[in-house]
Every structure is written in structure tokens, then in C-alpha cells.
Amino acid sequence: MTKLNLVTAAGYYHQIGMNITCIIGRKDSVESFKTPDNKDWKEYFTTPQTTEYLLGLNWDNATGVGLVLGYGGYRAIDIDEIEPHILHSVTESNGLKQSTLSLFIKECLSILKLPLDYPWIVRSGSGAGLHIVFKTKELDGFDCKSWVFSPRITDGKERLFKRFELRWKDHLVLAPSLHKTGGEYTYINTDFPKTMPGIVEIDDINNFINHYSLRVKKESFNSDKQNNIGRYIHFRRGEIVEGSWENFSYCDVEDNVTWLNECHSPKALLQLGVCHMFSIGGAKGGVNKAVEYFKKANIPEAYYNIAYLMATGYIDTTMTGFEETLSKCSSLFTERELKSIKEVAASYMKVKVYNKN
């Protein structure tokens, strides 16, 4: 990497509408290899940089170039510390041997609906990190910096990576920057991108997060209709909140109605229903709106929620209607839960019939 390479790269990035940072790494500071030297960089979340500003940065001492995420709709997914069994192994499928890392990257791109040869994938200088750069729409009133997620591990499988971040309004190191280890950031599928970053829909970003981090969680709620406790299912991501990440502003995209309104997957619709059910994140539709979203979701977890709303008196139904709903989600209940919800429903139906008489 040379000064000329960095200046040329910065000029190209600026030409395609990116706001750029100059990075000056120091041996006595690991973080300096990721931190902008231009201290006013946050002013450029919304303001375009001039060519004069760019050329005035300290490129003589630069070790890297970075991207101001947020401006122009530029965002990124940053995958950290990919495990050795992904980095250094080969997978055989249909008689063909392929790099396991290559297959993992293709899976990521498929979920985001980007071409499999997508050029805007940066491999970090450590060799164990990936940055996927793309553009997406602005969301009014949605003003968060980044989210950090831990990976979901299922079926006894090994962890794929330590964490990943959705970087929304933040900073990202680009190629050909120098890493703290001495390695260089490079592009995976090209020497240097010759096309603009692709556009990714919010729904597809949400599906990416769901695929790698989503967990199912059961919670309890007190019924106002009866002296009973109901339960509901919602989805939580594995967010990491630890000392080294305290500078991040965290938002639960699971509870952000602005975000969820852009999503169409059954899991997102269920989460929207939960928001309306408990008036979370500005959602005020109440039980009726919640049930509407649960029915649109049309998955067992959604019928689980409807069954409890029926059993606790929030939805007027018959025992037959309740049992039909329960049949669509019975696999989600433990024996104890199944017995409990049936007892709650039977008690409610008995009271309802008594009141009618």
C-alpha cells in the first residue's frame, strides 16, 4: 500500500458519492487503525464533502481510508472474527470442492439478494473479517448508529463467527487500508470495484439478521380481562453489550415499528403484532391490530399468541375456535403449558357462559 494508492482510492470513492475519512494508524494505539483522523467526520453524515476538503486531509501520514456510513444511504454489515473452520476448510458438494469461506460469503449474498460475484466485499487485514458495503433507503425518524449481534448456534453446530454488526450511521474501514496486524484490507471478488454498491431492501437486511442471530423467546403477561397470566412468543436477536462496545448506541430493531413496517417476513409480522399488543415503539393498534398481524404471519408462533389471547379473554371465541387455533401451534407447548392454557381457556369459557345466562 502506498500514499498514491490511498489517495487514488479516496478520490474514486468520493467520485461515486461517498464521504471519506483519512486514517492514521499508530503503533501505540490499536484503535487508531480504525479511527478517522479528521475529527469532524461526523458532520458529514448529512453534508457532502468537497474535493478541497478531501485533498486537505493528511494523506502524507495516512495508513487507511474509511467510509462515513449514513450519507448517501451507504450502510454495511461487518462480520468479525470468522472461525478457523470457515476460513481454512474445504466443503465438498455434488462432487465439487469449494472453499467453506466462499460458500459462507455466497450464503450471505443470497440472503441480501446481491449477485454472488458482488464486488463490494472487503476482507480485513487480519483475514478473519468481512465488510459488505451496500446502499439502502433512509427511514424517517430512524436515527441509530450500529447494532452488534452475537450468532445463533443451532443443532450442535459450530459457531461461524464471534459477532456481526449492522453499521447504519457510523464509520467503516475500506480497502486498501492497513490493518493493525500489518495486513492489508482487500476486495474479495475484484481488485477494485468498477460499479456502484448495490441496493439492499430493509426486509432483506432484516432476514440476514434473523438468519444468523434470531432467537425465539417466551414471555408472560398479566391479563386485564381475567385474573390469569398469559404468555406470548416474540423474537430477540443476540445483542452483545460489553465494555469494549459501550460507544455504540443500541436500538432493538425487533421493537422499532419504523423498521418493521419495511419488512414482510412472517417473523417480522409477528413482531409487529407484539408491538401493537403492548403498545411498543409507537404502535397503538391494540389487540385487534396485533391479531391482524399474527394472522398475516401465519406461523405457529403467531397462533400461539392468538391462542393465549383467546384463553385470557382478549378475543371473543368459542371452545371450538380456541381448539382449532391451538391445533396450529400445539408443537410449541410443553405438556405443562398445554395443560395450563386449556385450564385457563375452560375457566374463561365457563365464566362467559355464566355471564350470558
- The answer to whether the beta carbons of residues 111 and 211 sit under 8 Å apart is yes
Question: Distance between CA 27 and CA 220 in Å, rounded?
Answer: 52
135 phi and psi, to 5 degrees? -115, 150
120 phi and psi, to 5 degrees? -90, 55
Q: What pLDDT does residue 108 have?
A: 96
Q: How many CB atoms lie within 10 A of CB 7?
A: 18
- Taking residues 24-40, report their average pLDDT: 92
Indicate the helix (H) or strand (E) that contains 261.
none
pLDDT at residue 62 tops 50: yes
- The answer to whether the beta carbons of residues 35 and 22 sit under 8 Å apart is no
pLDDT at residue 275 tops 70: yes
pLDDT tier for residue 354 given thresholds of 50, 70 and 90: very low
Question: Distance between CA 131 and CA 127 in Å, rounded?
Answer: 11
- The side-by-side arrangement of strands in the sheet containing 171-174 is 20-23, 64-68, 171-174
Q: What pLDDT does residue 49 have?
A: 96
Output the average pLDDT for the chain: 84
Q: Which of 45-54, 133-142, 253-262, 338-347 has the highest mean pLDDT?
A: 45-54
More confident residue, 285 or 63: 63
More confident residue, 74 or 242: 74
Task: Report the length, in residues, of the chain.
Answer: 357
More confident residue, 354 or 178: 178
131 phi and psi, to 5 degrees? -120, 120
- Taking residues 20-39, report their average pLDDT: 93
pLDDT tier for residue 253 given thresholds of 50, 70 and 90: low
Q: What pLDDT does residue 19 have?
A: 97
Half-sphere exposure of 20 (CA within 13 A, CB side): 30
How does 29-63 read in b/e, with b if 16+ C-beta sit within 10 Å?
A: eeebbbbbbbeebeebeeeebeeebbeebebeebb
pLDDT in tens, 84-99: 888 888 877 777 777 8
pLDDT at residue 193 tops 60: yes
More confident residue, 332 or 296: 296
pLDDT at residue 271 tops 50: yes
Query: Which region among 98-102, 250-254, 321-325 has the lowest average model confidence (pLDDT)?
Result: 250-254
pLDDT at residue 229 tops 60: no
Q: How many CB atoms lie within 10 A of CB 202?
A: 20
Question: Distance between CA 329 and CA 299 in Å, rounded?
Answer: 8
Q: State whether residue 195 is helix, strand or coil.
A: coil
Q: What pLDDT does residue 22 have?
A: 97
pLDDT in tens, 96-146: 777 889 999 999 999 999 999 999 999 999 899 999 999 999 888 777 788
- pLDDT above 70 covers what percent of the chain? 83
pLDDT tier for residue 257 given thresholds of 50, 70 and 90: confident
